[in-house]
Each structure stands twice: as C-alpha cells, then as structure tokens.
Amino acid sequence: MDDTAARDTGRRGLLQAAATVPLLGGIGIAPAALAAEMGRSAKPLRAAFSNAGLQATWCAQGKSAAEYWGKLFNVDVTWFDGELNATRQRGAIDNMASQRWDFVAIQAFGIGTLAAPVRKMIDAGIPVIDLDTLIAPLDQLNVHSFLAPDNEFMGASVTEALMQAIRGEGTIIMTQGALGHTGAQGRARGFESVVKRYPKVEVLDTTPGDWDVTKVARIWDTHLTKYPKISAAYFHNDDMALAAYNVMRAKGRTDIKIGGCDAMPPALQAVLDGRMHATVRNPSCRIHGGAIMAGVAAVVAGEKTGEGGIPKHVITDGPVVTKDNAHGMAWMQKQFLI
Amino acid sequence: MSTPVTTVMPDRDPLWSRLRAQLRNLAPFATLIALVALFSSLSPSFATWGNLANILQQVSITAIIAVGLTFVILCAEIDLSVASVANATGILLAFLTVQDASVNIANLPLPGGLSIPLALAGCLMLGAVTAFGVTRIGIPSFIMTLAMLQIGNGIGALLVRGQIAYTVPDLVTTLGSGSIGPVPWIVVVASTVLLTGHLVLTYTRFGRYVYMVGGNREAAEHSGVGVRAIIGAAMLISAACSGLAGMLGVAYFGSAQQNQFDNYLLDAISAVVVGGTSLFGGQGGIGNTIIGLLVLGVLNNGLDHVRMDSFLKILIRGLVLLLALVINVYAQRLRSHARAAG
C-alpha cells in the first residue's frame, strides 16, 4: 500500500510539474526519465487522437507532440484528421468509435457535433480526453478530463502587453476568430476586460476574421484606408496577425503594435524581428502531450477523475511571449514541452 | 479466307458493345468491389455489420442531397447551392425552435412542430428563386446557384450570428439521430428518398422528360416538352432534398451553426458523378448515385480503418476520385464513338 501510494504521489507530482509551467527544461527533467517515472506501459497501448485539422500549424504541432510523447510512453497513436470541417470530423470520430482503443483524445472543430460517438466511447469504458475546445458542456458529457488554456487570460494578457506598449493611449482594433468558437469568445472577453480599464484607448473595430487569412487581408485593407491612426491591433491567432502585417507593410503602416495568440514558431520569429510586439502561448505540445500522460495514467494506474486523480478541467496556460523570452519558447517547443 | 471475319465479328461485337455501353455503370461498381476487398483485407474492423451501419449512416445526409442533385445534373444543369440551402434550412429550423437558456440567439420559437413546415417552406422558397432565375431570367444555373450559395450562407449567418443552436423538434431529432432497433432512422429516410427518386425518374412521364431535357434539349422542346418547367421542377426538388437533409443533419450532428455543411456540396456532386451520371445530362440515375455514395462512403470510412499517414489519406482520396472520373469520361467517349459508328 505504502509503496503504491508513494509511487502515485511521485507520479502526480511529476504530472503537476508537467502541467504547471515550462519548468521541465528549466529543472532538468529529461522526457525519457519522466516517462520511466510516470509508469510507461509495459505493453503497447492503442490511442486514437483527433484535432480540428492538420492544415492548422497548431494542430500539426500537437500531432507531433502526441506522437513524441506516445513513443516515450509506449503508446501507439492513430490519427483521425478533422480537416477543419465539422462534418468530416464527425465521420472520422464515428469511425474511431467503431474501433477499440485504450484511450482517446479529441479537439472538436464544431462544438456539439461529436457528442453522440464520444458518448458511445465513454459508455464502452474508454477514457476520453477533451482537448482545447469543449466537445459538449462538461455536465452533459462525462469526459475523463478537459485540457484547455484559459482563453480569457490569453486575451487579457496580450492586450495588457499592447496597452503597455502604447502607454495606455490611442486606438486599437481587435480582429476576432469565428464568433461561435469558445476560444474566440474567451479571448474577446479578455480583450474587453483590459481595454475598459484604459479610458484613453478607443476600440475602432472588432470585425471577426473567422481564422481566415484571406478575409483578414481584405478587412485590413479597409481598416487601413478608413482609419488614418491605428495604435495597436490584437488578433485572435498569429496566422491572422501575420496576414494583416503583410497588408500593413504594403501600405507603409508598420508602426502599428501587433499582438497575436498561439505563439507558433513563425510568430516567435515575427516577435524577434519586431514585426509583432507580443503573442501568448497556447501550449499545443502541453495539451497534446498531457493527453498522452492522462491517458496512460488512466489505463496503467487506473487514475480516476476528481479528488486524488486528474481534475475534470486542467487549465494549461502559456505565458505572454515578447523579445525577452521568444528564444526560450522556441527551444521548449522543439522539445514538445509547451 | 474471308469466312473467319464474317463469323467471328458478329459473336464478339455484341458482347463488346454491351460491355462498352455499360462501362459507365460497371466501372464504379468494380471500384466499389475493389475498395471493399482492399479494406477488408487490410483491416479486420472494416468488414463488420457494425461498420456497415456506420457507413450507411455516414452517407445518408449526402444521399438525400444527392437525390435532388441527380435530377438537376440529369437535366444538364448544376446546383452549387445544395449545401448552403441545407445549412440555412437547418439553422432556420433551430431558429424557430425553443432553445436552452444558455444559447445566446435572439430566436423566434414556435410551439410544437410548426417550425418543420416553415423550414421546409423556407427551402422551397430558395429553390423557387433559383428556378425563376434560371428558367425565366435566363441566368446560367452555375452562376444563379453560386449566388444562391451566398444567399443561403448569408441567411444562416444572419440568424445565428456566429452562435450555435442545439435544439430541434422531437420528430426531427428522432429521424436524424434515433434508431429503429439497430437501424438508424436517418438511413431509413435516405433509403426512402432514394427509392422515391428512382421511381419518379424511371416510371413517370416527368422522369422521362428529365432525361429528354438533359439528353437533347432542342429535341425535347420540339417534342412539346416544357423544358423550363422541367428544369424549374428539378431545382425545386433539389432545394427540397437539401432542406430535408439540412434539418436531419442538424439533429444528426447535434448542433446548427454557420458553414457546417460546406463539404456536402463537393461530396454530393462527387457521389452523383463518380456513380456514373453524366455531368452533361441525360445519362445515369439514382442507381448510379447509390454506387457513387457507397464508393465515397467506403473510401472515407476504410481509410480510417487502415494505419497510414494522416496527410496521405487526403491525397489517396483525391487519386481514387480522379481515377473514377477518368473512367467516367472514358466511358462517355466510348459511347459517343459507338454512336457515331452506327
């Protein structure tokens, strides 16, 4: 009993370490050592993963992270691509649900569209880990755990960085993601909560770009024609921010302070060379790698949800990235740590 | 010396001619058999009753849309608005249904199942506008339905404003996501629509007129067929099928949101064409569409049962579709040559 308890405590301790901060690199825990301590499965486990769509760099990075951590933990990861399409992902999850898995992890592209096949897997006793976006409200679907960032925090923290850059005075535009996306809604709430504390800042526009870089380029053509003075711009993801930057550069308006979200490698480079002022990390590797750890713990150690086990909702925040920490962030992403 | 020629050719010609004439139908069927055999040998989880039900359920919504589209394509027209009309109808249905308090949409809930006939009326109105544009104003169907695609998307966006609605009337929920024993209701509905479409095309005067209009429009006109009425009716049937698919789709997926059904446009066109119905009209039918649906369904499903690179799956899907289309065009050419020869 004592031995088991001690092992469990050690494992939980390491889980917490993995889920708190980008500390692993800093405190010198090598992923291989962590895997051994965590209780790597003796027999290969079969896991099915699906995220919104591998066309998105964030999702592709998550796939690489899941496969990397899967190898360390002896988990054979099978991927079902969501193809950034709700109906295609539903078909893929239907196919996933018709097969047998040790655990599965899913990021829904269309909220509410995957509930039926996911419920079928849960009823079959398969631990289902929800990634980044709610498959369905947590009180309606008994997922093993929900690993997601606090989008409101991300929106607020990068907006605060922009406010500091413009010294709390001027004009700002927010280009939102798709309005129905819970992530975009949270980021917008975070943005608004910060902006209202700065009375000398005027919000010029909040038109959604729907994550679509073509649409964003069109919107920003109009913004730059319509508004002679724009101090800062906050985008709900980096891809949109970089697309808008190209329009700004073409019109000679590179004085606008740009904030993004996700902190993917191209955005880190943009922060380093000054095209973007800041971004905030949405930790794809931590979320996807964390799902491997949560799944292995559920299958190998029988970890349950709730007290003493994994929380129903694990918040996986990342930091704001500026020139000061961009290099370190890039290194940690290469190691699939954040 | 000349005897062998005169005796052998009559024996070979009819069989070869028959095969050539049927190549359009045989090729998709052979593709289907090959795919089933391939996936069955590669994955033990593929050839199971459970997975068959899965495939049928997955193609059901496409099937309902594809029935309407078959009528349109047989008339040598095209309807690019099927997915957006389906989306708009599904959203309209949810908009007219009482939603949970957490849903942040200023909707107009109606009592009972009143939202169902209103949503159907809505999609028929969109179909009527398309029919009017194509047959009365003379806008090419490609352009007219492209405009209707935008209108449908616009209606959907306006109603939900980026939010998501979850509830639809109980009847639609049952038909979209319920089952009779092991058989999902949506498969029953899709089968009924397919059967009705087949009966109409094969055994009614209207069905024959559809083939005439698509096969040779001028000849149909000279024969006294109301070409514009037939094309208009095909557009209405297409809108009605799309609307029905949209309503059931919302129940099947559990939510109504913008751009949800976008991929059904290409899926439905692919199903009709891969099955062997000619994009130039006048040839094909519901039987072909069923084979096309199964080819697509088996391909999409089977690739998920086989261990392979996720990025490769999309390419393989495209290559198989390309192969099917090449066979389709080749069959068309052989048939034309055969006709020209005599």
Domain boundaries, chain B: 28-333
Tell me which residue of B240, B201, B199 sits closest to B65, measured CA to CA: B240
Nearest Cβ partner for A112 among B166, B305, B307: B166
More confident residue, B111 or A76: A76
Question: Count of CB contacts below 8 A, A vs B?
Answer: 81
For residue B265 the two structure tokens come to: 């446009």
Separation of CA B276 from chain center? 13
Q: Which residues of chain B make contact with A180, given a CB cutoff of 8 A?
A: 160, 162-164, 257-258
> From the candidates A95, A106, A121, which should be mutated to test the interface with B, based on the most B CB atoms within 10 A?
A95
Give pLDDT, residue B259.
83
From chain A, which residues contact B within 8 Å (Cβ)? 54, 63, 78-81, 83, 85-88, 90-92, 94-96, 98-100, 110-113, 115-116, 136-137, 178-180, 208
Q: What is the ipTM of this complex?
A: 0.72
> DSSP assignment of A242-270, as one string?
HHHHHHHHHTT-TTSEEE-SB--HHHHHH
- Give the CB-side neighbour count of residue B327, counting CA atoms within 13 A: 24
Picking from B48, B258, B261, the nearest residue to A87 by CB comes out as B261
From chain A, the residues in CB contact with B160 under 8 A are 180
Query: What confidence score (pLDDT) does residue A298 get?
Result: 94
Which residue of B164, B261, B305 is the best one to mutate when testing the A interface, meaning the one whose CB has the most A CBs within 10 A? B164
| Residue B99 contacts A, CB cutoff 8 Å | no
Q: Choose the CATH number for B28-333 among 1.10.3470, 1.10.1740, 2.60.40, 2.40.50.
A: 1.10.3470
Contacts of B51 in chain A (CB under 8 A): 98
CB contact under 8 A, B164 and A111: yes
**Predicted local distance difference test score (pLDDT) of residue B105:** 81
Instruction: Give, in words, the CATH class of A2-148+283-316.
Output: alpha beta
What are the φ and ψ backbone dihedral angles of A167, each rounded to 5 degrees? Answer: 55, 35
Q: Chain B closest CA to A28's CA: distance in Å?
A: 33
SS3 B144: helix
Here the contacts of B102-109 (C-beta below 8 Å, separation 24 or greater) are B102/A137, B103/B163, B103/B164, B103/B165, B103/B166, B103/B167, B104/B163, B105/B159, B105/B160, B105/B161, B105/B163, B105/B165, B107/B159, B107/B165
3-state secondary structure of A317: coil
Residues of A whose CB is below 8 A from B61: 87
Contact B255 A111 (CB under 8 A): yes
Q: Using CB atoms, pick whichever of A90, A98, A180 lies closest to residue B258.
A: A180
Q: Give tens-digit pLDDT for A128-176.
A: 999 998 898 778 899 999 999 999 999 999 999 999 999 999 999 999 9
Give the β-pairing of A232-235 and A257-259. parallel
Q: Which residues of A touch B177 (CB under 8 A)?
A: 116
Distance of CA A290 to the CA centre of its chain: 12
Nearest to A208 among B61, B162, B313 (CB): B162
> Does the CA dihedral A302-A308-A311-A317 come out positive or negative?
negative
Q: How far is B340 from chain A (nearest CA, A)?
A: 43
The minimal CB distance from A91 to the residues B160, B164, B300 is found for B300
On chain B, the residues whose CB falls within 8 A of the CB of A54 are 310-311
Contact state of A113 with B253 under an 8 Å Cβ cutoff:
yes
Q: How far apart are CA A279 and CA A237, in angstroms?
A: 9
Q: Which tens digit of pLDDT belongs to each residue from A275-324?
A: 999 999 999 999 999 999 999 999 998 999 988 899 999 999 899 999 99
Q: Comparing A32-46, A257-271, B64-78, which segment has the lowest mean pLDDT?
A: A32-46
**Residue A48 pLDDT more than 70?**
yes
Q: Which of A54, A110, A180 is opposite residue B311, by nearest beta carbon?
A: A54
pLDDT at B339: 67
Which residues of B fall within a CB distance of 8 Å from A112? 164, 166, 253-255, 257
pTM: 0.78
CB B117 within 8 A of CB B123: no
Neighboring chain B residues of A115 at a CB cutoff of 8 Å: 254
Over chain B (342 residues), the average pLDDT of each successive run of 10 is 41 66 78 92 89 91 97 97 97 92 82 92 97 96 96 93 86 93 94 98 97 94 95 98 96 87 92 89 94 93 85 84 78 72 64
Residues A55-62: what's their mean pLDDT?
Answer: 88
pLDDT category at A35 given cuts 50, 70, 90 is low
| pLDDT at position A20 | 42
Give residue B130's pLDDT: 97
Q: What is the spatial distance between Cα B152 and Cα B81, in angstroms, rounded to a whole number?
A: 7
- Show residues of chain B in contact with A92, CB under 8 Å: 304
Cβ contacts (< 8 Å) between B166 and chain A: which residues?
112
- Structure confidence at residue A32 as a pLDDT band (50, 70, 90): low
Mean pLDDT, residues A200-207: 95
B221 shares contact with chain A (CB less than 8 Å): no
> From A109, which residue of chain B is nearest by alpha-carbon distance?
B260
Beta carbons of A110 and B260 less than 8 Å apart:
yes
- CA nearest to B311 within chain A: A54
CB contact under 8 A, A112 and B307: no
The confidence score (pLDDT) of residue A31 equals 59
Residues of B within 8 A of A98 (CB-CB) are 45, 48, 50-51, 54
Superfamily of domain A151-280: Response regulator (3.40.50.2300)
Interchain CB contact of B150 with A (< 8 Å): no
Which residue out of A61, A98, A106 would a mutagenesis test of the B interface target, given it has the greatest number of B Cβ atoms within 10 Å?
A98
Between CA A104 and CA A117 the distance in angstroms is 12
Q: How many CB atoms within 10 Å of residue A60? A: 18
Would you kindly state where each structural domain of chain A is located, as residue ranges?
A: 2-148+283-316, 151-280
Do the domains A151-280 and A2-148+283-316 match in fold?
yes
What distance in Å separates the CA atoms of residue B164 and residue B258, rounded to the nearest whole number? Answer: 8
Task: Retrieve residue B80's tokens.
Answer: 């690019």
| Residues of chain A above pLDDT 70, percent | 88
Nearest residue in A to B306, CA atom: A78
Q: What's the whole-number average pLDDT of chain A? A: 87
Q: Which residue in chain B has the smallest CA separation from A46?
A: B307
Largest CA distance in chain B: 90
Q: Does B258 touch chain A (CB under 8 A)?
A: yes
Selection from A305, A335, A313, A320 nearest residue A132 by Cα: A313
Cβ-defined contact of A180 to B163 (cutoff 8 Å): yes
For residues B279 and A152, what is the distance between their CA atoms, to the nearest angstrom?
50
Model confidence at A228: pLDDT above 90: yes
